[in-house]
Amino acid sequence: MKVICDGLDLSDGVLKVSKALSIKSPNPVLEGIKLVAKGDTLTLTATDNELTIEKTIKADVLMEGETVVVGKYFVDFTKKLEKEQVELSRLYDGQLQIKYADSESELQVFGAESFPVIKKEEQENFFEIEKNQFKDLVERITLACSTDYSRPILKGCLFEIKDNLLTSVALDGFRMSVCRKKVNSSGDFSAIIPARTLNEIVRLLEKEDSIKVYIQKNTLLVEFENTVVYSRLIEGEFVKYSHILPNSFENVVTVRKDDLVASIERASIVAKNDKYNVVKFDIKEEQMNVIAKSEVGCVNETINVNLSGKDIFIAFNGKYILDYLKIIEEEFIKINLNSPIDPCIISSINSEEFIYLILPVRINA
């Protein structure tokens, strides 16, 4: 293999695929980036057997071939070559020779035959969505995904499509996000997509106006801008989220978002010493007291609200509420409540496109 390419293109491609590199894998080749020189392109691929990212760049191919270079070193090395023309050659002694300017270096390589084969299966199910809508959905959903490896299904997001309406759901046992978006789809189907995969797709999106996501068997495929992302889907039955959502509410609080954010942020300075970051809401008619106490001190602030229903005293993990408030643009929000121990739902006052369910923290008033 012998190929010449632009250093900036190479660095950009290597950085993109590196997000799929395996870290400390028992199979060393999964810590490598596969290079395939063919025609007038160089294709870079990294995989950890769950997520695969493939990026193709323009190149002057002097000799077709393939090899696998140690990933973490190749990433760091190519960052320093962004202003150079780079020549890559697979040497017979098992090294990758890198020539640039008047210099040359060598990096260890593996045989390409030991790199996992990525199978492109025929894709039948798909949905297409505007790029900005997809980014918005992923940001709103993945914040509620679990990071607990003991329940792998909760590390994914349910994507459920019916009549060109996508309903996406994520939950971690303490909170749940539900987001609905209009899409163009091949039909009705569902899949559980790893949150990591969704975040990587968003990170890679650049000039596209829309994105088409293919689902087949246990695999997801997205292709755009000379980049291909493959991912395993999460198998199993997702939580029946519709059973968790309350049917009605006795109390509805309307509040200006920025007022609530500022007050919770100040209260959280005191509350963060507490294990559950407890922030209490004492809600009465036209005002809400935001309260936090710990050994550090106490905060008790009053903000204006509109309450429809009865007075209520309730507590939440302040961080969970801030996570929601910081990703929405609405000026006012609704906090829908039943009792100090029942799930609460926060949403926009004008739309149910995105709702956020959060469990209260049980306290002694």
Q: What is the pLDDT of residues 212-238, one digit of tens each?
A: 999 988 899 999 889 999 999 999 999
pLDDT per residue as tens digits for the range 174-227: 999 999 999 999 999 999 999 999 999 999 998 888 999 999 888 999 998 899
- Alpha-carbon span 84 to 75, nearest angstrom: 15
Please work out, in degrees rounded to the nearest 5, the angle formed at the alpha carbon of residue 148 by the alpha carbons of 265 and 326: 25
Q: Which CATH superfamily is domain 125-243 in?
A: DNA Polymerase III, subunit A, domain 2 (3.10.150.10)
pLDDT (average), residues 59-81: 95
pLDDT of 153: 94
C-alpha 161/C-alpha 292 separation (Å) is: 42
Domain boundaries, the chain: 2-114, 125-243, 251-358
CATH topology of domain 2-114: DNA Polymerase III; Chain A, domain 2 (3.10.150)
Residues 243-270 have pLDDT tens digits of: 999 999 999 999 999 999 999 999 999 9
Q: What's the confidence (pLDDT) of residue 217? A: 82
Q: Global pTM?
A: 0.92
pLDDT at 274: 72
Model confidence pLDDT, tens digit, residues 117-167 = 887 766 689 999 999 999 999 999 999 999 888 889 999 999 999 999 999
CA gap 165, 181 in Å, rounded: 6
Res 341: pLDDT: 95
Please name which of 358, 352, 318, 321 lies closest in space to residue 340, comparing C-alpha atoms: 358
Q: Identify the CATH assignment for 251-358 out of 3.40.50.300, 3.90.1010.10, 3.40.50.1980, 3.10.150.10.
A: 3.10.150.10
Q: Give the integer Cα–Cα distance in Å for 124 and 111.
A: 34
- Structure confidence at residue 365 as a pLDDT band (50, 70, 90): low
Query: If we measure between CA atoms, which residue out of 195, 157, 150 comes closest to residue 176?
Result: 157
Mean pLDDT of the 15-37 span: 92
Question: What average pLDDT score do residues 100-127 get?
Answer: 87
Q: Give the pLDDT mean for 94-102.
A: 93
